[in-house]
Structure 1
Amino acid sequence: MIRRQEYMRVMVATLVPMLLSACAMAEQYRWSGVERIVALSDPHGAYTALMKTLGNAGLVDAQGGWSGDSTHLVITGDLLDRGPDSRKIMDLVMRLEEEAVRAGGMVHLTLGNHEVMNLVGDLRYVSRSEYAVFAAEESGEERERWYQKYREQENLRSDVRLNELALRKAFEKSRPPGFFAHRQAFGSEGKYGRWLLQKPVLVVVNETAFVHGGLPPIVGELGLDDLNDQLRAEVSDYVRQAEVLIGYGLISPGASFYDHVELATSILSDDSIADDAKVALQKLIELNDARVHDSGSPLWYRGTVGCGALTEGDVIANAFGAIDAWRVVIGHTPTVTRQVLQKFDGQVIEIDTGMLNASYQGSGNALVIEGDTLSVINEAEPASVSPVSHPRRVGARDGALTAESLEHILAGADIVSSRTDKTERQIVELSRDGVMFSALFTPAPRSKKVNTELAAYRLDRLLGLDMVPVTVAREVDGKAGTLQFLPKNSRDEAFRTSSGLGGSAWCPLQRQWNSMYVFDALIHNEVRAANSMVYSPENWQLLLMGHSSAFGSKKDRPKHLSNVELQLTGTWLDALTALSDDVLAENLGDVLDKRRLSALGKRRDLLLREVEKLN
């Protein structure tokens, strides 16, 4: 029987760590009443640009000390990778955290995907210069020990004895000087690993959310506290299980995150390994597929940027409801204009402006929020400007070319050539100021009162669908018709299906297809051929082309959609409700006759009834 004193000693030893752990997890993720917020994102080792930006925003003085008083600085991740000065930036942020608190302010760092990549061993973007700053903390004996381990493993994999010189060269290339000290520093007890493992994924300040990638469905599912607690735990657990296995010599610090599952699976069948090592192997396999690493993680998600309002609106609304916010500030995806952009009526602010110029050809920009006022300060000067509206960008094109500019080009640029492609489409090449553009030519229908291609484009603009490329009326080779913008290197649905590509789409393909189905039901598009579903491979944005079989006089769905379950969201309800008969007549009356306009209105009403049943 345990004596009372011994019992109490055991209970204290058991419960205190548990209580401390519980307290540590009860983190604060929300702040209110903050008078001034400054936000920036994705320095990627660009220390000089970051310091200039912070200085112009009034947050650091000439000596680099905190001068922001009670300001809250929010950095939405990706301090690391690609640039040479990642370590200097981490040291700076760690110091500013302490100085800001003493002055009554605060520094918030939310995790970016590159912070997590460094923690779990996904080192694809760590530059040699980033490793080099750790070289002084790494002994020759340590490097030799890991080389011998590497040599042993490589020889075991090969049927013939490998060349010693080639082995050494490969080792030095994949694990340059500083590599092992870098890995130790990002461990759970390392200076930077310990610090980063304490950081949140998402914070809310004054009802504005700050997160690295975006607001995927998981945010609406879990809410603020559970989202942070769960995803942080997944990263922390992964790091610790990997450390157990490295300690046993079962995996190397140089093993890639993407090789961990294969390595762990191959080792797991060895009965001679310790029980706790087996547990670590199994957990590592499970955690490798954790939600924090998924494309639907707030660290990796690009749907907030890549989807249109009709496709993404309800996802964002659900997230806002779950975290009690009405606006989100995100990084991760460099803006197309390298300016701070806003979309969805200011609900989404994009602040990754490509600060690391060598990689992204951008500059440092800080978003400043003071009450209801938003302004932007650049690294070059302290004068502020306003955020710019996110341009309608249906299809990749060079620079920041707007839809209106593209309309002007298609209507007036010189036609250089015209050809028929293998799917019998007529492709026209145009030139403006030495820049080439491609467009799809569709001859005009016989009736002068009907132009279904222009009707589809205008209706897309009215809905805010952002899936039909810029379309204009124009004659080609003496024939009246329309030209529709065709992005460079675009691929159709037949290519996507045969290649199996598209899984990396910024806006999830299933959601894009649903928006296409709803649009085709609205316009009664009887034929949606593979060559009328075109993608921009840079982000797998779906473009809808060729609508000569649409806008008939039937009032029901086209046959191919009769049994398709449409996901009709509240966002669609708002968009369809705004399409009054007067709006349709005003905007489409010159390209659709009265009979077709009337049928369009009837189909709108049919969809509205379906939406109301679902919501």
Structure 2
Amino acid sequence: MARSRYLLFGMLLFAQALWAAPRQLDAYRWDNVARIVAIGDLHGDYDSYLTVLQSAGVVDRRGRWIAGDTHLVQTGDIPDRGPDTRRIIAHMARLGGQAEKRGGQVHNLLGNHEAMNVYGDLRYVSAGEYSAFAGKRAPVLRDRYYKATLEALAASDPEQAAALPADHRAQWDLSHPLGWVEHRFAWDPRWDPKGELFLWTMKTKVAIQLNDLVFVHGGIGSTYCGNSLESMTTMARAALGGGDPDAPGILRDEAGPLWYRGLAGVDPAASTETVDAILGRHGAAHVVIGHTPTDGVIWPRLAGRVIMIDTGISAAYGGHVGWLEVTREGLFAGYRGGRLRLPMDDGQRLEYLDAVIALQPANPALPKRREALRAGTLDAPPANVAPTPAQPLEAAAICGTAR
């Protein structure tokens, strides 16, 4: 009899553990995840990236996974503005393997800056980034590429080639620093379809869902409201491998999930009806976004329907350490000085912001945000995003027609 009771007790414990374990529903959705840590844009700053993960209890001092079955989400924009893109991506790849051995997972989402590096928009690549790619053969590779460009020009337009100014090479070198060629081989499939960072980018996803939270880089508006999570990634991967930087589509669409700022309150701001339609489409309660900097605060909008997590982790944006943490106890904002429960009522945001300011007294942008909040401008875009006098609402979405 006693043996039967022990057996029954053991079966109940096993069933309970099985029920509580994370479940992967498909390639884009997970349920019953006990702990989620989400971080926003990193922009090439490895030191700040590691500081965030250490502060959140995800890695130890040597950068090794210590978070058990936690799911880590990085919402895109690892490249540009800083020098450490390759280093961050390499570390996240190692971290993913370590996490899986312990029941956890690392999710990398596609941001507009990953896409830009693939299709060749290099406006924000830093000098340090190119230097990080420059190996011993960098001068030779650059000379070969320069020679190839001259030969191509001479073949297509001999007169223009003959009229090049005496300082053409010097000017060309300024826009093609050492490491530029290696950078293109790594990112651009037209240079190398097996480039390491291109292949890594092709593994990222546009959006995923963990429990009742949808994660995406820029946001989902009425234009893409009817799309499934899978379809957006399928469209993006097709465009990434297409090789035409001028082709319109999901990678460059300002209303698309990589660029859209309407969920962040930027003109045209998404209406509550639009957000509710998006959440209803996916059976979710929250959508978590990066892309639009918040000057150092994990910021909820529309009663927590939207959660903005681009705190400006990179030194290029102030080095503001912050992360979203989701547990069975609720949603929390993590900072160096501590963890705060995220308010799900917009009326509680002033009290929350006061608590954040107490944790970050040296951040001059937060008191300005507080002033705007008290003045009734609840979601004024940060200084580096052009404001509009009146932010018209986007038309309410009708989800069901996919692009």
TM over 0.5: yes
Paired residues of 1:74 and 1:107 also in contact (CA < 8 A): yes
* Structure 1: 5+ residue stretches without partners: 1-25, 243-256, 262-287, 407-460, 470-505, 507-535, 545-565, 572-615
Are 2:291 and 1:290 aligned? no
Paired residues of 2:48 and 2:319 also in contact (CA < 8 A): no
Query: Which residue identity is paired with 2:174?
Result: K
Cα offset for 1:308? 8.7
Paired residues of 1:112 and 1:213 also in contact (CA < 8 A): yes
Matches for 1:168-187 after TM superposition, within 5 Å: 168-186=169-187, 187=189
Hey, what's the Cα distance between the residues in 2 that align with 1:167 and 1:403? 50
Q: CA deviation digits over 1:249-277, x for unaligned, max 9?
A: xxxxxxxx4xxx5xxxxxxxxxxxxxxxx
RMSD, matched Cα: 3.2
Q: CA deviation digits over 1:206-255, x for unaligned, max 9?
A: 020011001112332212222222222222223xxx6xxxxxxxxxxxxx
Query: Which residue identity is paired with 1:347?
Result: R
Query: Which residue identity is paired with 1:216?
Result: G
Paired residues of 1:306 and 1:541 also in contact (CA < 8 A): no
Hey, what's the Cα distance between the residues in 1 that align with 2:135 and 2:395? 59
2:223 corresponds to? 218
Change (3 A) 1:160 1:99: same
Cα offset for 1:94? 0.9
- 1:543 pairs, out of 359, 383, 390, with 390
Change (3 A) 1:158 1:205: same
- For 1:31, what is the secondary structure of its paired residue? strand
Q: Which moved more, 1:199-208 or 1:289-298?
A: 289-298
1:70 corresponds to? 69
Cα offset for 1:369? 0.3
1:523 corresponds to? none
Instruction: Pick 1 or 2: higher relative contact order, CA cutoff 8 A, min separation 6.
Output: 2
Change (3 A) 1:161 1:311: closer
- 2:325 pairs, out of 361, 368, 371, with 368
How many pairs does the alignment contain?
Answer: 347
1:193 corresponds to? 198
- 1:385 pairs, out of 324, 327, 340, with 340
1:340 corresponds to? 298
Hey, what's the Cα distance between the residues in 1 that align with 2:128 and 2:49? 18
1:351 corresponds to? 309
- For 1:222, what is the secondary structure of its paired residue? coil
Cα offset for 1:158? 3.2
* Structure 2: 5+ residue stretches without partners: 1-24, 351-364, 399-403
Cα offset for 1:152? 4.4
Hey, what's the Cα distance between the residues in 1 that align with 2:94 and 2:261? 31
Structure (1 or 2) with the greater helix fraction: 1
1:37 corresponds to? 36
Query: Which residue identity is paired with 1:173?
Result: L
- For 1:229, what is the secondary structure of its paired residue? helix
Paired residues of 1:220 and 1:320 also in contact (CA < 8 A): no
Cα offset for 1:52? 1.1
- 1:400 pairs, out of 348, 369, 386, with 369
- For 1:402, what is the secondary structure of its paired residue? helix
Hey, what's the Cα distance between the residues in 2 that align with 1:69 and 1:170? 52
1:161 corresponds to? 163
Cα offset for 1:376? 2.1
1:276 corresponds to? none
1:323 corresponds to? 282
Change (3 A) 1:211 1:569: closer
Hey, what's the Cα distance between the residues in 2 that align with 1:80 and 1:568? 33
Hey, what's the Cα distance between the residues in 1 that align with 2:74 and 2:394? 36
Hey, what's the Cα distance between the residues in 1 that align with 2:66 and 2:389? 47
- For 1:158, what is the secondary structure of its paired residue? helix
Change (3 A) 1:567 1:192: closer
Hey, what's the Cα distance between the residues in 2 that align with 1:110 and 1:318? 22
Change (3 A) 1:211 1:538: closer
Q: How does the TM-score come out when normalised to structure 1?
A: 0.52
Are 2:236 and 1:231 aligned? yes
Hey, what's the Cα distance between the residues in 2 that align with 1:39 and 1:311? 23
Paired residues of 2:268 and 2:394 also in contact (CA < 8 A): no
Hey, what's the Cα distance between the residues in 1 that align with 2:221 and 2:52? 29
- For 1:210, what is the secondary structure of its paired residue? strand
Q: Which has the larger radius of gyration?
A: 1
Matches for 1:139-154 after TM superposition, within 5 Å: 139-152=138-151
Are 2:51 and 1:96 aligned? no
Query: Which residue identity is paired with 1:67?
Result: I
Query: Which residue identity is paired with 2:262?
Result: G
Hey, what's the Cα distance between the residues in 2 that align with 1:63 and 1:46? 17
Matches for 1:461-500 after TM superposition, within 5 Å: none
Paired residues of 1:76 and 1:210 also in contact (CA < 8 A): yes
- For 1:400, what is the secondary structure of its paired residue? helix
Change (3 A) 1:79 1:325: same
Paired residues of 1:45 and 1:356 also in contact (CA < 8 A): yes
Hey, what's the Cα distance between the residues in 2 that align with 1:85 and 1:570? 39
